[in-house]
Structure 1
Amino acid sequence: MVYACPRWIGFSSVLVASASLQLVLSNLITARQDPCAAIGGMTWVSPKDVRACYASVALEPKVKTNVIEVINKTLAFHASLNYELQAPPPYNYDVQEDLMADLARISVTDYTSEYDFHVALSRATRRLNDGHCVWKYACYDALFVNYLPLPLDLLEDSEGHQDVYISSEAFEVASTGFPDQIDFWQNALPDNLRGQLESLSGAKVLAINGRDPFETVDANAEIWGGYQALGTRQNAFFSSYLRSVDGWTYIPGTFARQSLPLEDQVELTFIRVNRTSPETITLPYRSRLGDTTTKPITDTASWRSSYCVAQPGTNGQDLYAPSVPQPPLAPTSTSPAVMLHDTPLTSLGSAQFYMLDDEKTGILVIGSFEDNDWDGFTTGLYNGLMNLKKIGATQLIVDVTNNGGGVVCAAAYLHRLLAGRKSSTDPQAELDSKIRAGPLAKAIAGFFGTGQNVDPDNLMLFNPRNMVDGNNQPFRNTTNWLEPSVDIIVNGRHDSFSRRIGPRCSVAHGDWPIVPPIEPLFDTKKVVIIGNGKCASACGIFSLTMAKHEGSKTVVLGGKKDVKQKYCGTIGGEQWHFPALDSEIKTAKLKDHPLAPPDLLVNGVFGFVWRLSFGIDLPEVPAEWQDHSPDLSLPLTSQLVNNPMAIWKEVTSRLLS
């Protein structure tokens, strides 16, 4: 009896230990059987474990066939397709991609997993360097995002030399954005630097993975896509800022943030501030599950059901069906934010207004032309500019850094406000365009000739009531506005387009909540538009028309001095996504047409350029392929980088004083 209790306690401990070992063993077996269970419920994981999960799902032949067929048939509406075979100068070395040939090659290639198939498709569309024409799949894209705590900057010193540096604010940004991972990275440093991550901020980078830093920059530019100009794709590698609806946001750059778990670690050779000897470290990337709103996964089944299979809105729907779901939002990742300390005069979602201390230079910083409240957004633009004038602004800087575009009509409205009523703004302040006129497109347009009330609520974008011709005259309600089409040869291939189409947005149509004044709000020759070249779509059209028609100056921030910078990126004319096109096809009762794409089986989305804008210097050539060189390329210094107020003052002293 003396030993009964101790023996019993000991036996109980053995039982508990055995149960624990069984649980551990069970978890190990489950993880080995299901690699996605190994990252289930976790926010931060290693990229290797994410790839193991992604690569564990075999590619189903029906999925492969379905996705390629959807993209192939949707490309019949992509207006830039044949132009992208070989872009003319100055983009002849940047864009030369045969996407149809890529799809043919991918269709006969064997892939060990669905993930490998997705990467192949994604890389193929990205080689177009056209952010409008992309394949995104919520199963993989930005579901887990790779991060490093070391964003990089390209800086010029006092003698005019440019080098790559770890951002001086790197530790502050990482600590703010990833407080739960700082200790991991601190402990991942070699013994002599362990716990000294902050000391790396501001270090001069000598090599990335044993190569000259710009070899890595250029390699990234080859696969990142998004913009035709090499300079813009290089600039995306480095940190920058954005005015978003949530305030000022720090963009780490594509070195420190990857939307797919592509790399496990990076080797950096650098010289720390106030040191003279090079040091080399290897630091791991960490993959984070989306953001705080992203639904966690527990295993393969939960991942596939939540993110991979088609969702309501993945495909289109007859617009006159009882209910029309909205397209799903792909998972996104929020970058760590650093707020500026200057107080804006007015805040308007993704736009803010400031006045410099010279009391004559107004600032409008606008991160997007997209807003859920059209009337509120455009009214806010009007009121903000009027307030600047009221307090004495006679000249204006418009900061469009990282502006991804948005509603073309909002950009046209801003142009009209600034420039007043004149031939370049009334009846339109945007660009004429053309639309690809393939057989299925003509069939959709021909649907309106079948009766007066086929689209009574004017829901279809193909509706002739939504179109005006090249003389800004509306089409009749029953007109097939794609007939007669214009046949041309582009890069040796026969193509067919609509006649010249006028804009959607017109002052004469009375679509504005506040009719702009007749007189310009500013002398447009005293308006300067600045950005880092990542100015797309509506932003590109605004910048281009202000520069070419109104004499406004343009500035590109950063970039290598020996690479020609461009002040706007992809212009396009109007981007569509597959669900919108599918809705037009279904509403026109053409889903059984032999050229109609089938419904997507997966939760992906394919974008394309529906309207292709004509240029200004060469009015018969797409604006996409014309030169957009800035009036000033402004290299970034340690005083200017990610410091908008200092940048605005520097630009003012150079171009507006």
Structure 2
Amino acid sequence: MGKFPKFLAIVASLSLSRLSALGAQTPDLCSVIAGQKWVSPKDVRACFTSMKVDQTLKLNIIDVINKTLAFHTSTNYEIRAPQPFTADVHEELLADLARIRAQSYKSDYDLHIDLSRSVKRLNDGLYAITPSLKLPYIDFLKAAFVNFLPIPLALITGANGTQEVHIAPEAFTVASAEFPDQIDVWQNALPGSLKGKLEMLSGAKVLLIDGKAPFDAVDANSLITGSFQAFGTRQNSFFSSYQIAAAGWTYIMGNFTQQSLPLSDQVTLIIQRVGSTRPEAVTIPYRSRIGAINPFTDTASYLTSNCKAVPGTNGVDIFARSISSLGSLDRPITKFQQQNPISAATERQHPVNVILDASPPSDVVLPPTLVPSLPTVPGSRNAAQFYLLKDGKTGVLALGSFSDNDFNAFLNSMLEGLVALKSQGATQLVVDVSNNGGGFICAAHWLHRIIVGPKSTTIPQAGLDTQARDGPLAQLIVKQIISGNLDPNLDLLYNPLQWTDANSQPFSANEDWLQPPVVKIINGHRDAFSQRLGEECQGSFPTEPPGAGLFEGSKVVIVSNGRCASSCSLFSITMAKLEGAKTVVIGGKQGVKQEYCGTVGGQSTDFSTIDTEIKSTQLKNNTLAPPDLLVNGVQGITWRLGFGINDPTQPEEWQDHPADLNLPVTDNLVNNPVAVWEEVAQRLLA
């Protein structure tokens, strides 16, 4: 069951300000950055803040969010989350939306920031908003221009056990490879004898960031980064890390080095370089690089080319157009889903649980010296790579996503890889899911099932029971499907034939699975949910799973930096709580509890998918239905909640997932996957 970080994602393009008002501005501040790859952050801010709020678009965005929230399962839970996340999640989004509706803003940019940060306080990554500037109004802005520094950071533990923030040892290698056309700007910004010698900063200890202790900056970032409930995981997002992606091993720069908004112009560090005992001050400018936006020459063309709704922003009546109309991979939401792009049609056939992020997935390359040099094992495919460590007994599955462009081939390759590891002598398994944002729900079920085999924890399902929110419009959708036999090809989420009951018995075509609603009082608010839903994946597996497990659950270790979300969380939680797999978080501040995964829902989806359900059942004119979004945006929601394992009466996403081991990052482990795997195997599998 895919979990969709609750971070409501509305990627709405920068509001289309009235062009008459824009034309009066002299000079046009967006023309300054037009046609350039690299610009100053202050020039980007000047462009964005020159755009005034269009009240029609502002109200449209808020109306869409408000009415789509009726389908988001965690709305009332997030007002004040249960322990252990009470201090981390306490956002009454409906109240904040009412405040934002009434509030005046100097510019579209200011509106975007307020709306974005309100949503990010949900800290779930599944519910997200991203408009033209960026999130609900701000996430797209982050995609337009991204702020970079050439000095990614790492939290390193020394031989004496003391943790210090450092510029990553590989910083210059990464920056010179990724930013060859900008490196001279940073080289020449350095003072005195350091000018032109940026590589001499690599590995330096960071004593102060803008005059404050480094963790002041880390903690400030954790308040606005969103996506993960756990404070420790949000701290970790400040630092660099690695991920295996479909294109190969990538380097995650971290929130300090990569800002999705042009918030900062420069940073001043007090550092102590390697081999030196003398503190030195260096001031390094941020530079903004243009992202995935259409060309523009001025403010008017920026808005016209990038901010209007596009195909995929809103839903369609699939019975008027056919499901093939949902086949494009070029949907607005795919730019923010932390998975390999898949079509809307594939997502309907194979539901997902995947996190959204304001910044697109990283394409920065992991330095060659850190890329695993071990030979890959047969079955390796895209973001799932198999290795056998030199000890001859530890197999590794590096799994950067639970998504792939071919569902059946992906699941078959995971089975092939695990079987190949066994045939080569592996008796224990490390699964590295660092920065895995989720993907196919049934891929998580499948991997769990083939690792441990058929048993009570994997049959009839290897996941969690779930439930959907049961609001008035959702009830009408189901009634329309049943009464009109509208969906013979099973294209709609609300079709009863898609689901089974708590006993994993399929619903009949005329069975209203939303009746009667299960009423709950959550944080003083009356809410309604569907009955409990059971098994959903057995019929979707491409082949019969093995009759016996390939590895003992107790011989499996799941490794991440805590940034494992949605379907990744589903797999990690069920393996840890049901099968005895051990969990490891790489790094993390000493004394701060590290959760081995983020939000686990039952299934994530988005506004355009819900809008398709509404339009296909002829309910778009109902007063409960959200209007079409007028800007190029994305709103992500958690459509189903997953029930807990230790407490099966409550959602799993609000239950505790502490790591068994918080692995200190030493000099030899920094962003080095093989070194991490070997250390983990020695500590937990020897």
TM-score range, shorter chain: over 0.9
Shift in Å, 1:214: 0.3
Shift in Å, 1:319: 1.2
* 1:336 aligned residue: 364
* 1:486 aligned residue: 518
Q: How does 1:233-632 map onto structure 2 within 5 Å?
A: 233-290=234-291, 294-322=293-321, 324-325=325-326, 326=328, 327-328=331-332, 329-330=334-335, 332=360, 334-338=362-366, 339=368, 340-342=371-373, 343-346=375-378, 347-451=380-484, 453-506=485-538, 509=539, 511-632=540-661
SS at match of 2:275: coil
Tell me if 1:43 matches 2:37: yes
Gaps of at least 5 residues in structure 1 are 1-28
Shift in Å, 1:572: 1.4
SS at match of 1:520: coil
Greater displacement, 466-475 / 304-313: 304-313
* 1:23 aligned residue: none
Per the normalisation by structure 2, the TM-score is 0.89
Tell me if 1:145 matches 2:178: no
Q: Is the 8 A contact 1:242 1:402 kept in 2?
A: yes
Shift in Å, 1:118: 1.3
Between the aligned residues of both structures, percent identity stands at: 54
Q: Is the 8 A contact 1:31 1:37 kept in 2?
A: no
Deviations 1:536-566 (A, max 9, x none): 0000000000011111111111001110000
Deviations 1:312-356 (A, max 9, x none): 111001011225354334484744212415132243100100000
SS at match of 1:270: strand
Shift in Å, 1:116: 1.4
Partners of 2:453 and 2:612 lie apart in 1 by: 38
SS at match of 2:60: helix
Shift in Å, 1:31: 9.6
Q: Is the 8 A contact 1:174 1:336 kept in 2?
A: no
Higher-RCO chain (CA-CA 8 Å, sequence separation at least 6):
2
Partners of 2:482 and 2:604 lie apart in 1 by: 26
SS at match of 2:320: coil
Shift in Å, 1:479: 1.6
Shift in Å, 1:375: 1.0
Q: Is the 8 A contact 2:372 2:674 kept in 1?
A: no
Partners of 2:493 and 2:312 lie apart in 1 by: 18
Task: Give the counterpart of 2:675 among 623, 626, 646.
Answer: 646
Counterpart residue identity of residue 679, structure 2: E
* 2:104 aligned residue: 110
Shift in Å, 1:32: 4.4
Tell me if 1:136 matches 2:137: no
* 2:4 aligned residue: none
SS at match of 1:320: helix
Counterpart residue identity of residue 255, structure 2: T
Partners of 1:141 and 1:341 lie apart in 2 by: 31
Deviations 1:273-308 (A, max 9, x none): 1111111121110000116xx543322233212221
* 2:118 aligned residue: 124
Counterpart residue identity of residue 484, structure 1: P
Shift in Å, 1:33: 2.4
Gaps of at least 5 residues in structure 2 are 1-22, 134-140, 337-359
Q: Is the 8 A contact 1:556 1:565 kept in 2?
A: yes
Counterpart residue identity of residue 635, structure 2: F
Q: Whose radius of gyration is greater, 1 or 2?
A: 1
SS at match of 1:637: coil
Q: Is the 8 A contact 1:231 1:559 kept in 2?
A: yes
Counterpart residue identity of residue 623, structure 1: E
SS at match of 1:456: coil
Partners of 2:543 and 2:658 lie apart in 1 by: 34
Shift in Å, 1:435: 0.9
Partners of 1:236 and 1:625 lie apart in 2 by: 21
Deviations 1:385-410 (A, max 9, x none): 11101111111000000000011111
Greater displacement, 518-527 / 134-143: 134-143
Q: How does 1:76-87 map onto structure 2 within 5 Å?
A: 76-87=70-81
SS at match of 1:650: helix
Q: Is the 8 A contact 2:71 2:637 kept in 1?
A: yes
Deviations 1:505-545 (A, max 9, x none): 12xx2x21221111001111101111011010000000000
Q: Is the 8 A contact 1:138 1:330 kept in 2?
A: no
Partners of 1:333 and 1:151 lie apart in 2 by: 17
Partners of 1:524 and 1:164 lie apart in 2 by: 35
* 2:5 aligned residue: none
SS at match of 1:443: helix
SS at match of 2:438: coil
Count, aligned residues: 623
Q: 4+ residue stretches of structure 1 with deviation over 3 A?
A: 29-32, 329-335
SS at match of 1:48: helix
Partners of 1:447 and 1:116 lie apart in 2 by: 41
SS at match of 1:76: helix
Counterpart residue identity of residue 146, structure 1: N
